[in-house]
Structure 1
C-alpha cells in the first residue's frame, strides 16, 4: 500500500535542529507543518493534521501537557500522537502512552525507524478511514433498505384498510379523513410527533375486521336487527385477530385501534367492555374520530347529520362514550378537522 503525499504531519519541537532533521527524513512522503512550542502546536490543530510528532521537554508547556489538551478536546482527540523525545526512562514512556500516544520514540532519532513508525501509523489511519467509509456506505444501504421496508409496510396497511371500505362504497374517503382526524387529536393532546404519525398510518386499519362481515349486513339500507348487530360488532375482534402478533410499532398500533375503537369511556362499548384509562389512548382517539366522521357523512342506513347536531351529540357523550379530555381537544381542533373534511369529501 503506497503512502499518499496528502497526509499531513505536525512536528512539535523547541529545537530547530530537531525540526530540520525530521523534515529531512519525512519531507519526501508527507506534507509537514512545524511548531516550536506547545501553544503554537495547539494553534495549528484547526489545520487538521493526520499525525503529530511531539517532543516532551519544551519550555512553558511540555509535551505531556500538550497531549493532555489534545486528548481532552473532542475535535482533535482522535489525532494520533507519537512522542519523539530524549526522555528514555520506562516511566516516561509509560506516562506518554497512558496519555493516549500511539508510539514513543527516543532521541537520537534513527531515520529508518522514524520513517517506519510513521508509515505504520499512516497505514493504520488509512485502514481506519477506509473502514469508516465502508461502514458509512453500509449504513446508507441499511437506511435505504429500512426506509423501503417501512414504505412497503405503510402501503400494505393502507391497502388493507381500504379492503373494508371497498365493501361499502358509500364510505368513500372515510379512512383518509378518519386517520387524519385521529392524528390531529393526538397532536392536540400533545403526543409525540412519532406517535401521532403512527396513529395516522395505523388508523386506516380500524375496520379491517369488516372483511369478515357479509355484504348483506354491511350494505343494509336500514337499521340492523339484534342478530345482525351482534355480527356487525364482531368486526372489532376479527380485526384484532387479523392484526395480532405483529412486531412492528405500526402493526401493534393498528391492532390496538382495530380492537378498541368501539370501546366507550363508560365501559359500555365492545368488544371487551373496557372503560376509562383501560382503553389505550390510540383507542380513545380513534373512537371519537370514527364517530364524528360516521355521523357527518352519508351511509347506507342514514343521511349525513348537520354539524351542529354532531357537535351536540359529542358534547352529550362527553364522559359517557368519549374521554372528556378527548372531547375538549376535538373542539379546540375543530377548524383543522373541518378543513380536512373539505379536502377529502365523501
Structure 2
C-alpha cells in the first residue's frame, strides 16, 4: 500500500516516514515540496495521502481540492495534519474531500491506528471497484457471446437459402461487402454499416418458401411462376420478423424491401423514393451489381463496364441515385472486394 506523505516540516516528515516504513506492506512516499507531492499523486494512484495544512505556495486544503478534482479515482483516502485550534481549516478540508484528521504534535499511538483505518477503507474501496470491474467484464463477455450466437444464426439462415438457390456463397459475401461499402460511402454510422454486413446475406431467405420447380427452372418463368417467385420478399419478412435480435429485425426489413424500385414500380409494396428503407435501397444496388457481374449456369458474367452502365442508367428509376453513386465512387474498393471474394475461392 503506497502512502504519500506531504509535509514541509522535516521533523514531521521523517517521523511519519519512519512510522509508515516499519509496517510490512506499507510503502512511504515522502515529499517536502507540496507541488512535487501533488504531481506524484496525480501521476500515480496512492492508497493513502497524509498531508499537512500549513505549507508554502500550496496549502493542504488546496492540494486536497486539486487531488479530488483531477485524480482519476476520487476514492483515495486523505488524512490531514492540523493544529488543534484550526477548526475552520478542518471544515474547509472536509468540504475539499479530506476523510480524517491528525492533530499536531504527531502522536505515534494515534498515527498508526488512523493510518490502519484509512488503509482498511481503501481496501474496501478497491474490493468494490474490482467486483464492479469483474462484473463489467462478465457482462462484456456474455454480450460478446450473444453477438457471436446471433452472427452464427444469421450466417446459418443465409446458408440455408444458398442451398435452395443456384447462386454461390461468394455472391452472398460479395453483395454484403458491397452493401457495407455503400453504407460507409453514404456516411452511415459504424453500427449501421456493421448491421448491413451481417443482415444483407439474409435478403433472399424467403426463397426457402419457393417451390423447386420455379426456383431451379433453367428457362424463363411464366407469369404465374413469376408471381410466385415475387412472393419471396414477403416470405423472407415473415420468417425474420418479430425476432428479439436487432440484426434479424434489420434483415426482415432488407428481405421485404430489396426488390422495391426507386420509381415505385418494384414489389411487393410498390414503395418509392425515401419511402423505401435505406437498407433496402442499398442492398438493391449491391445485389443487382453482383448478380450481373457473376457467372451463373444460365448466363455468363457481364463485363464490369456493362454493369456500371446499367446502374448509371437505372438511377432514379430502378435505383436510388445516391446509392449508385456511392458504389461507383469507390471503384477501387469494389475491385478489391471482387478479387477477395471470388467465386473460385
Hey, what's the Cα distance between the residues in 2 that align with 1:11 and 1:97? 18
- TM-score w.r.t. length of structure 1: 0.89
- The Cα offsets for residues 105-144 of structure 1, whole Å up to 9 and x where unpaired, read as 3234443332222111111212222332333333333323
2:342 alignment counterpart: 344
User: Is it true that 1:327 corresponds to 2:324 in the alignment?
Assistant: yes
Q: Which residue number in structure 2 is paired with residue 294 of structure 1?
A: 291
Asked whether the 8 Å contact 1:178–1:293 carries over to 2, the reply is yes
* Deviation string, structure 1 residues 34-86 (Cα, Å, up to 9, x no partner): 33342343354346432121121234432112222322323575532111110
1:254 positional shift: 1.1
**TM-aligned CA distance change 1:295 to 1:10, over 3 Å:** closer
Report the counterpart of residue 253 of structure 1 in structure 2: 250
Note the aligned Cα RMSD (angstroms): 2.4
Q: Deviations over 1:145-198 (max 9, x none)?
A: 322221221121111012122112354532122112212222222222332222
Match of 1:272 in 2: 269
CA-CA distance at 1:212 after TM superposition: 0.8
How far apart, CA to CA, are the structure 2 residues paired with 1:69 and 1:317? 64
Give TM-score scaled by structure 2 length. Answer: 0.89
Query: Quick one: which of 281, 286, 296 aligns to 1:284?
Result: 281
Distance 2:84 2:274 in 1: 72
- Residues 70, 312 of structure 1: CA spacing in aligned structure 2 closer, same or farther, 3 A cutoff? closer
Q: Number of residues paired by the alignment?
A: 340
Give the aligned partner of residue 64 of structure 2: 67
- Go from structure 1 to structure 2 and tell me whether the alpha carbon gap of 1:118 and 1:320 turns closer, same or farther (over 3 Å shift): same
Change over 3 Å in CA distance of 1:48–1:209 after alignment to 2: closer
Q: Distance in 2 between matches of 1:329 and 1:19?
A: 69
Structure 1's 315 and 21: CA in aligned 2 closer, same or farther, altered over 3 A? closer
C-alpha distance in 1, partners of 2:241/2:44? 57
SS in 2 for 1:9: strand
Structure 1 residue 319: Cα displacement: 0.4
Question: Which stretch shifts more, 139-148 or 215-224?
Answer: 139-148
Unpaired runs of 5+ residues, structure 2, are none
Query: Any stretches of 5+ residues in structure 1 without a counterpart?
Result: 1-6
- 1:1-346 → structure 2 map (5 Å cutoff): 7-29=1-23, 30-45=26-41, 46=43, 48-75=45-72, 78-299=75-296, 302-342=299-339, 343-345=341-343
* Greater displacement, 253-262 / 311-320: 311-320
**Cα–Cα, structure 1 residues 257 and 114, in superposed 2: closer, same or farther, change >3 Å?**
same
Moved more, 128-137 or 40-49: 40-49
Contact 1:264 1:274 (8 Å CA) reproduced: yes
Q: Is the 8 A contact 2:240 2:248 kept in 1?
A: yes
Aligned in 2, Cα 1:307/1:20: closer, same or farther, shift over 3 Å?
A: closer
Distance 1:282 1:52, change over 3 A: same
What is the alpha-carbon distance in structure 1 between the residues aligned to residue 84 and residue 188 of structure 2? 62
Task: Summarize deviations over 1:224-256 as a string: whole Å, max 9, x none.
Answer: 122211111111011111111233332222122
Does the C-alpha gap of structure 1 residues 23 and 319 become closer, same or farther in structure 2, counting only changes over 3 Å? closer
SS of alignment partner, residue 173 of structure 1:
helix
